[in-house]
Amino acid sequence: MTRAFLAFTLVTTLLMGTAAPAAGQEEDTITFFGGGWGHGVGMGQYGAYGLAKVGGYDADQIMRHYYTGVTAGTLGVDVTGPPRLWVNILNGAVGVTLVNKQITNPGVPITVTNGIDTLVVNNAESITISMDGDDCAVSTSTGGAMIAPGCLLDATWDGDAESPTTRFEIASVTAYGSASSTTCTHTNWNAIGSPKVPCQYAHGVMHIRPDNNTASFHLVVEMDVDDYVLGISEMPYYWGPAGGQAALEAQAIAARSYAVHRAVLRDKARGGPPGDAPHWCACHVVDTTSDQRYVGWGHGDCGRGPMRVTTRPVSSTPTPTTTRSRGPPSPSRPSTPRRPSGHPSPTRSASAPPPSPTCDPFPTRTPPTPGSATPTPPGRRS
Protein backbone atom coordinates (compact mmCIF):
# COMPACT_ATOMS: atom_id res chain seq x y z
CA MET A 1 0.00 0.00 0.00
CA THR A 2 2.82 2.42 0.87
CA ARG A 3 4.65 1.75 -2.39
CA ALA A 4 1.48 2.30 -4.38
CA PHE A 5 0.76 5.60 -2.60
CA LEU A 6 4.31 6.87 -3.07
CA ALA A 7 4.28 5.88 -6.72
CA PHE A 8 0.95 7.64 -7.26
CA THR A 9 2.17 10.77 -5.49
CA LEU A 10 5.40 10.83 -7.50
CA VAL A 11 3.64 10.37 -10.81
CA THR A 12 1.08 13.04 -9.92
CA THR A 13 3.87 15.46 -9.02
CA LEU A 14 5.72 14.78 -12.24
CA LEU A 15 2.63 15.15 -14.40
CA MET A 16 0.87 18.01 -12.67
CA GLY A 17 3.42 19.82 -10.55
CA THR A 18 6.06 20.51 -13.19
CA ALA A 19 5.59 23.05 -15.93
CA ALA A 20 6.39 22.07 -19.50
CA PRO A 21 9.87 23.17 -20.60
CA ALA A 22 10.08 26.31 -22.68
CA ALA A 23 10.87 26.04 -26.35
CA GLY A 24 14.54 25.23 -26.87
CA GLN A 25 15.06 24.29 -23.25
CA GLU A 26 16.47 20.81 -22.60
CA GLU A 27 14.15 18.41 -20.82
CA ASP A 28 15.29 16.91 -17.53
CA THR A 29 15.90 13.17 -17.50
CA ILE A 30 14.93 11.20 -14.40
CA THR A 31 16.33 7.69 -14.05
CA PHE A 32 14.97 5.28 -11.46
CA PHE A 33 17.05 2.45 -10.03
CA GLY A 34 15.74 -0.22 -7.71
CA GLY A 35 14.36 -3.70 -7.30
CA GLY A 36 12.02 -5.84 -5.30
CA TRP A 37 12.46 -7.23 -1.83
CA GLY A 38 15.21 -9.87 -1.73
CA HIS A 39 18.59 -10.56 -3.25
CA GLY A 40 17.77 -8.84 -6.54
CA VAL A 41 18.51 -11.73 -8.89
CA GLY A 42 15.11 -13.40 -8.83
CA MET A 43 11.93 -12.91 -10.78
CA GLY A 44 8.85 -11.03 -9.65
CA GLN A 45 6.43 -13.59 -8.23
CA TYR A 46 3.22 -11.64 -8.83
CA GLY A 47 4.60 -10.48 -12.15
CA ALA A 48 5.23 -14.06 -13.24
CA TYR A 49 1.75 -15.05 -12.09
CA GLY A 50 0.23 -12.20 -14.07
CA LEU A 51 2.23 -13.11 -17.17
CA ALA A 52 0.98 -16.70 -16.90
CA LYS A 53 -2.66 -16.05 -16.06
CA VAL A 54 -3.36 -12.80 -17.86
CA GLY A 55 -0.70 -12.77 -20.55
CA GLY A 56 -0.79 -16.46 -21.44
CA TYR A 57 2.99 -16.86 -21.17
CA ASP A 58 4.49 -20.31 -20.77
CA ALA A 59 7.37 -21.08 -18.41
CA ASP A 60 10.05 -20.56 -21.05
CA GLN A 61 8.68 -17.15 -21.97
CA ILE A 62 8.50 -16.12 -18.32
CA MET A 63 12.12 -17.18 -17.83
CA ARG A 64 13.28 -15.23 -20.87
CA HIS A 65 11.31 -12.23 -19.67
CA TYR A 66 13.22 -12.08 -16.38
CA TYR A 67 16.57 -13.63 -17.34
CA THR A 68 18.14 -12.39 -20.55
CA GLY A 69 19.95 -14.88 -22.76
CA VAL A 70 19.12 -18.10 -20.93
CA THR A 71 19.06 -21.43 -22.78
CA ALA A 72 17.44 -24.73 -21.85
CA GLY A 73 19.37 -27.89 -21.10
CA THR A 74 19.23 -31.08 -19.06
CA LEU A 75 20.82 -31.39 -15.65
CA GLY A 76 23.28 -34.26 -15.73
CA VAL A 77 23.42 -34.23 -19.52
CA ASP A 78 24.06 -30.70 -20.75
CA VAL A 79 25.25 -29.32 -17.44
CA THR A 80 26.88 -31.00 -14.46
CA GLY A 81 25.50 -30.55 -11.00
CA PRO A 82 24.80 -32.53 -7.83
CA PRO A 83 21.68 -34.74 -8.02
CA ARG A 84 21.22 -34.24 -4.28
CA LEU A 85 21.45 -31.15 -2.09
CA TRP A 86 22.53 -30.69 1.51
CA VAL A 87 20.17 -28.11 3.03
CA ASN A 88 21.11 -26.52 6.36
CA ILE A 89 18.05 -26.41 8.61
CA LEU A 90 19.64 -25.47 11.94
CA ASN A 91 22.90 -23.54 12.07
CA GLY A 92 24.96 -23.50 15.26
CA ALA A 93 22.75 -25.43 17.70
CA VAL A 94 23.84 -26.95 21.01
CA GLY A 95 20.67 -28.93 21.61
CA VAL A 96 17.68 -30.17 19.63
CA THR A 97 14.72 -32.46 20.26
CA LEU A 98 13.12 -34.22 17.29
CA VAL A 99 9.79 -36.06 17.26
CA ASN A 100 8.76 -38.85 14.87
CA LYS A 101 5.37 -37.95 13.42
CA GLN A 102 3.77 -40.34 10.97
CA ILE A 103 2.22 -38.99 7.79
CA THR A 104 0.30 -42.14 7.01
CA ASN A 105 -0.46 -45.11 9.25
CA PRO A 106 1.70 -47.02 9.81
CA GLY A 107 4.72 -44.76 9.53
CA VAL A 108 8.23 -46.13 9.59
CA PRO A 109 10.68 -45.57 12.44
CA ILE A 110 13.57 -43.10 12.24
CA THR A 111 16.91 -44.84 12.62
CA VAL A 112 19.74 -42.74 14.07
CA THR A 113 23.36 -43.93 13.98
CA ASN A 114 26.80 -42.68 14.91
CA GLY A 115 28.32 -45.18 12.48
CA ILE A 116 28.56 -47.94 15.09
CA ASP A 117 25.62 -47.72 17.49
CA THR A 118 22.00 -47.28 16.48
CA LEU A 119 18.88 -45.89 18.11
CA VAL A 120 15.35 -46.36 16.76
CA VAL A 121 12.67 -43.69 17.19
CA ASN A 122 9.13 -44.90 16.56
CA ASN A 123 5.99 -42.88 15.93
CA ALA A 124 5.33 -40.23 18.61
CA GLU A 125 8.69 -40.92 20.27
CA SER A 126 11.41 -38.28 20.50
CA ILE A 127 15.18 -38.06 20.41
CA THR A 128 17.34 -35.35 21.98
CA ILE A 129 20.83 -34.42 20.75
CA SER A 130 23.06 -32.20 22.92
CA MET A 131 26.64 -31.00 22.77
CA ASP A 132 28.90 -32.81 25.24
CA GLY A 133 32.36 -31.33 24.88
CA ASP A 134 33.44 -32.08 21.31
CA ASP A 135 30.92 -34.92 21.08
CA CYS A 136 27.16 -35.18 21.13
CA ALA A 137 25.06 -36.98 23.72
CA VAL A 138 22.00 -38.68 22.26
CA SER A 139 18.98 -39.97 24.19
CA THR A 140 15.46 -41.10 23.31
CA SER A 141 12.16 -40.75 25.16
CA THR A 142 12.15 -44.54 25.65
CA GLY A 143 15.48 -44.64 27.49
CA GLY A 144 17.94 -45.26 24.67
CA ALA A 145 21.27 -43.44 24.82
CA MET A 146 24.63 -43.19 23.04
CA ILE A 147 27.52 -40.82 22.41
CA ALA A 148 28.32 -39.54 18.91
CA PRO A 149 32.10 -38.89 18.73
CA GLY A 150 32.81 -35.63 16.94
CA CYS A 151 29.04 -35.01 16.87
CA LEU A 152 28.63 -37.05 13.67
CA LEU A 153 25.14 -38.52 13.31
CA ASP A 154 22.96 -39.72 10.45
CA ALA A 155 19.23 -40.47 10.47
CA THR A 156 17.19 -42.35 7.90
CA TRP A 157 13.53 -43.24 7.32
CA ASP A 158 11.60 -43.62 4.06
CA GLY A 159 12.41 -40.04 3.06
CA ASP A 160 13.58 -41.03 -0.42
CA ALA A 161 10.30 -42.77 -1.23
CA GLU A 162 7.82 -41.22 -3.65
CA SER A 163 5.46 -40.62 -0.71
CA PRO A 164 7.20 -40.77 2.68
CA THR A 165 5.13 -42.18 5.56
CA THR A 166 7.16 -40.41 8.26
CA ARG A 167 8.34 -36.91 8.99
CA PHE A 168 10.34 -35.48 11.85
CA GLU A 169 9.37 -32.35 13.72
CA ILE A 170 11.83 -30.06 15.50
CA ALA A 171 10.11 -29.78 18.87
CA SER A 172 12.72 -27.53 20.47
CA VAL A 173 16.16 -26.12 19.72
CA THR A 174 18.82 -24.43 21.81
CA ALA A 175 21.11 -22.10 19.88
CA TYR A 176 24.78 -21.58 20.66
CA GLY A 177 25.12 -18.92 23.34
CA SER A 178 21.52 -19.27 24.49
CA ALA A 179 20.56 -20.49 27.96
CA SER A 180 17.09 -21.68 26.97
CA SER A 181 15.41 -23.60 24.18
CA THR A 182 12.78 -22.33 21.77
CA THR A 183 10.23 -23.96 19.51
CA CYS A 184 10.92 -24.09 15.79
CA THR A 185 8.24 -22.62 13.52
CA HIS A 186 7.87 -21.33 9.99
CA THR A 187 5.53 -18.64 8.75
CA ASN A 188 3.24 -20.23 6.19
CA TRP A 189 3.03 -17.56 3.52
CA ASN A 190 0.61 -19.73 1.57
CA ALA A 191 -2.13 -19.60 4.19
CA ILE A 192 -4.48 -16.72 4.95
CA GLY A 193 -3.14 -14.78 7.91
CA SER A 194 0.37 -16.26 7.50
CA PRO A 195 0.11 -18.59 10.53
CA LYS A 196 3.07 -20.12 12.32
CA VAL A 197 3.51 -23.84 11.60
CA PRO A 198 5.95 -26.39 13.09
CA CYS A 199 9.27 -27.13 11.40
CA GLN A 200 8.72 -30.55 9.80
CA TYR A 201 10.73 -32.49 7.23
CA ALA A 202 9.85 -35.68 5.37
CA HIS A 203 12.12 -35.89 2.31
CA GLY A 204 15.67 -37.17 2.22
CA VAL A 205 17.98 -38.18 5.08
CA MET A 206 19.24 -36.15 8.03
CA HIS A 207 22.79 -35.39 9.15
CA ILE A 208 24.20 -33.80 12.29
CA ARG A 209 27.60 -32.23 11.60
CA PRO A 210 29.96 -30.13 13.76
CA ASP A 211 30.54 -26.43 13.29
CA ASN A 212 34.10 -25.31 12.54
CA ASN A 213 34.15 -22.21 14.76
CA THR A 214 32.05 -22.94 17.84
CA ALA A 215 31.14 -25.90 20.06
CA SER A 216 27.87 -26.40 18.20
CA PHE A 217 26.39 -28.48 15.41
CA HIS A 218 24.33 -28.16 12.24
CA LEU A 219 21.19 -30.10 11.37
CA VAL A 220 21.24 -30.75 7.63
CA VAL A 221 18.79 -32.58 5.38
CA GLU A 222 20.17 -34.22 2.23
CA MET A 223 17.60 -34.68 -0.50
CA ASP A 224 16.92 -34.92 -4.21
CA VAL A 225 16.90 -31.61 -6.05
CA ASP A 226 13.25 -32.05 -7.05
CA ASP A 227 12.19 -32.75 -3.47
CA TYR A 228 13.99 -29.60 -2.37
CA VAL A 229 12.03 -27.47 -4.83
CA LEU A 230 8.73 -28.82 -3.46
CA GLY A 231 9.49 -27.12 -0.15
CA ILE A 232 10.53 -23.72 -1.53
CA SER A 233 8.19 -21.13 -0.04
CA GLU A 234 8.15 -18.57 -2.82
CA MET A 235 5.01 -18.90 -4.95
CA PRO A 236 1.98 -20.58 -3.36
CA TYR A 237 0.94 -23.85 -4.94
CA TYR A 238 -2.69 -22.77 -5.24
CA TRP A 239 -1.63 -20.46 -8.06
CA GLY A 240 -1.35 -23.54 -10.28
CA PRO A 241 -5.04 -24.40 -10.68
CA ALA A 242 -5.83 -20.67 -10.65
CA GLY A 243 -4.15 -20.14 -14.01
CA GLY A 244 -0.58 -19.70 -12.81
CA GLN A 245 0.84 -23.15 -13.52
CA ALA A 246 3.43 -21.70 -15.91
CA ALA A 247 4.59 -19.35 -13.15
CA LEU A 248 5.12 -22.32 -10.82
CA GLU A 249 7.09 -24.08 -13.54
CA ALA A 250 9.24 -21.00 -14.06
CA GLN A 251 9.75 -20.75 -10.30
CA ALA A 252 10.89 -24.38 -10.26
CA ILE A 253 13.43 -23.64 -12.99
CA ALA A 254 14.70 -20.57 -11.16
CA ALA A 255 14.87 -22.37 -7.81
CA ARG A 256 16.79 -25.29 -9.24
CA SER A 257 19.10 -22.96 -11.13
CA TYR A 258 19.98 -21.07 -7.98
CA ALA A 259 20.40 -24.16 -5.80
CA VAL A 260 22.60 -26.05 -8.25
CA HIS A 261 24.67 -22.94 -8.89
CA ARG A 262 25.28 -22.47 -5.17
CA ALA A 263 26.09 -26.14 -4.77
CA VAL A 264 28.71 -26.01 -7.52
CA LEU A 265 30.32 -22.89 -6.03
CA ARG A 266 30.35 -24.17 -2.46
CA ASP A 267 31.68 -27.59 -3.45
CA LYS A 268 34.47 -25.84 -5.32
CA ALA A 269 35.31 -23.61 -2.36
CA ARG A 270 35.16 -26.57 0.03
CA GLY A 271 37.16 -28.87 -2.22
CA GLY A 272 34.33 -31.37 -2.56
CA PRO A 273 30.78 -32.15 -1.43
CA PRO A 274 29.72 -31.82 2.22
CA GLY A 275 31.09 -34.56 4.44
CA ASP A 276 32.15 -35.18 8.04
CA ALA A 277 34.67 -32.35 8.44
CA PRO A 278 33.62 -29.37 10.60
CA HIS A 279 32.21 -26.61 8.43
CA TRP A 280 30.34 -23.33 8.82
CA CYS A 281 27.15 -24.83 7.34
CA ALA A 282 27.91 -28.41 6.17
CA CYS A 283 25.63 -27.63 3.28
CA HIS A 284 25.03 -26.54 -0.29
CA VAL A 285 22.30 -24.06 0.68
CA VAL A 286 20.75 -22.71 3.86
CA ASP A 287 16.98 -22.64 4.35
CA THR A 288 16.62 -18.87 4.76
CA THR A 289 16.36 -16.03 2.27
CA SER A 290 20.16 -15.83 2.39
CA ASP A 291 19.75 -18.53 -0.25
CA GLN A 292 16.13 -19.60 -0.75
CA ARG A 293 13.36 -19.98 1.79
CA TYR A 294 12.90 -23.71 2.27
CA VAL A 295 10.15 -24.76 4.69
CA GLY A 296 10.14 -28.55 4.31
CA TRP A 297 7.09 -30.75 4.44
CA GLY A 298 3.49 -29.53 4.46
CA HIS A 299 3.64 -26.60 2.06
CA GLY A 300 0.10 -25.30 2.62
CA ASP A 301 -2.51 -23.81 0.33
CA CYS A 302 -4.48 -20.79 1.42
CA GLY A 303 -5.37 -22.18 4.83
CA ARG A 304 -6.80 -25.50 3.60
CA GLY A 305 -3.93 -27.68 4.76
CA PRO A 306 -1.04 -29.39 2.94
CA MET A 307 -1.40 -29.98 -0.77
CA ARG A 308 0.75 -30.65 -3.81
CA VAL A 309 -0.03 -29.80 -7.39
CA THR A 310 1.67 -30.97 -10.54
CA THR A 311 4.87 -29.25 -11.50
CA ARG A 312 6.74 -30.38 -14.57
CA PRO A 313 9.99 -32.20 -13.86
CA VAL A 314 12.01 -29.09 -14.49
CA SER A 315 15.51 -28.99 -13.08
CA SER A 316 17.98 -26.28 -13.73
CA THR A 317 21.50 -25.01 -13.58
CA PRO A 318 23.27 -21.67 -13.13
CA THR A 319 22.34 -18.94 -15.56
CA PRO A 320 22.92 -18.33 -18.41
CA THR A 321 21.81 -21.95 -18.83
CA THR A 322 18.56 -23.28 -17.41
CA THR A 323 17.61 -26.91 -17.67
CA ARG A 324 14.40 -28.81 -17.74
CA SER A 325 13.97 -32.47 -16.96
CA ARG A 326 16.90 -34.63 -16.07
CA GLY A 327 15.76 -37.29 -18.50
CA PRO A 328 15.17 -40.86 -17.33
CA PRO A 329 16.06 -41.21 -13.64
CA SER A 330 19.17 -43.22 -13.00
CA PRO A 331 18.74 -46.56 -11.23
CA SER A 332 20.79 -45.26 -8.34
CA ARG A 333 22.40 -42.08 -7.14
CA PRO A 334 25.89 -41.53 -5.70
CA SER A 335 25.93 -41.96 -1.94
CA THR A 336 28.15 -40.44 0.69
CA PRO A 337 29.64 -42.48 3.55
CA ARG A 338 26.93 -44.15 5.66
CA ARG A 339 24.21 -42.49 3.56
CA PRO A 340 21.81 -44.46 1.36
CA SER A 341 21.30 -43.62 -2.28
CA GLY A 342 17.93 -42.11 -3.13
CA HIS A 343 15.59 -43.22 -5.87
CA PRO A 344 12.89 -40.55 -6.07
CA SER A 345 10.90 -40.02 -9.23
CA PRO A 346 11.53 -36.69 -10.96
CA THR A 347 7.81 -35.89 -10.96
CA ARG A 348 5.40 -35.08 -8.17
CA SER A 349 1.68 -34.58 -8.67
CA ALA A 350 -1.62 -34.45 -6.89
CA SER A 351 -5.00 -32.85 -7.35
CA ALA A 352 -5.86 -29.60 -5.67
CA PRO A 353 -9.11 -27.84 -4.71
CA PRO A 354 -9.95 -24.63 -6.56
CA PRO A 355 -8.61 -21.53 -4.83
CA SER A 356 -10.91 -19.08 -3.13
CA PRO A 357 -11.09 -15.55 -4.55
CA THR A 358 -9.33 -14.15 -1.47
CA CYS A 359 -6.21 -16.11 -2.46
CA ASP A 360 -6.05 -14.81 -6.00
CA PRO A 361 -4.44 -11.42 -6.77
CA PHE A 362 -6.11 -11.47 -10.21
CA PRO A 363 -9.60 -12.87 -9.39
CA THR A 364 -11.44 -11.02 -12.15
CA ARG A 365 -8.87 -11.50 -14.92
CA THR A 366 -8.78 -14.37 -17.37
CA PRO A 367 -6.07 -15.65 -19.72
CA PRO A 368 -6.42 -15.37 -23.50
CA THR A 369 -8.89 -17.69 -25.16
CA PRO A 370 -7.45 -20.86 -26.73
CA GLY A 371 -5.98 -20.19 -30.14
CA SER A 372 -5.30 -16.54 -29.52
CA ALA A 373 -1.83 -15.18 -30.10
CA THR A 374 0.61 -15.48 -27.23
CA PRO A 375 2.79 -12.39 -26.79
CA THR A 376 6.51 -12.75 -27.10
CA PRO A 377 8.26 -11.50 -23.95
CA PRO A 378 10.62 -8.62 -24.63
CA GLY A 379 13.24 -9.84 -22.15
CA ARG A 380 14.59 -7.93 -19.20
CA ARG A 381 14.18 -4.23 -19.53
CA SER A 382 17.08 -1.93 -18.72
- Full pLDDT tens readout for the chain, 382 residues: 333 333 333 333 333 444 555 666 677 888 877 666 655 667 888 999 999 999 999 998 999 999 888 877 777 788 777 879 999 999 999 999 999 999 999 899 999 999 999 999 999 999 999 999 999 999 999 999 999 999 999 999 999 998 899 999 999 999 999 989 999 998 877 666 777 889 999 999 999 999 999 999 999 999 999 889 888 888 877 788 889 999 999 988 888 888 999 999 999 999 999 999 999 999 999 999 889 889 998 764 333 333 333 233 333 333 344 444 333 322 222 233 333 222 222 222 233 333 333 344 444 333 333 333 333 333 322 2
**Where are the extended beta strands (E) located within the chain?**
71-73, 84-102, 110-113, 118-121, 126-132, 135-140, 145-148, 153-156, 166-175, 185-187, 196-198, 200-201, 205-210, 217-224, 285-286, 321-323
Ordered by start, the domain boundaries in the chain are 73-327
pTM for the whole thing? 0.72
Radius of gyration of the chain (CA): 24
Amino acid at 66: Y
| Residue 129, φ and ψ in degrees, nearest 5 | -120, 125
Give, in order, the Cα–Cα distances in Å from 328 to each of 258, 313, 343: 22, 11, 12
DSSP string, 33-93: ----SSSSSS--HHHHHHHHHTT---HHHHHHHHSTT-EEE-BTTTB---SEEEEEEEEEE
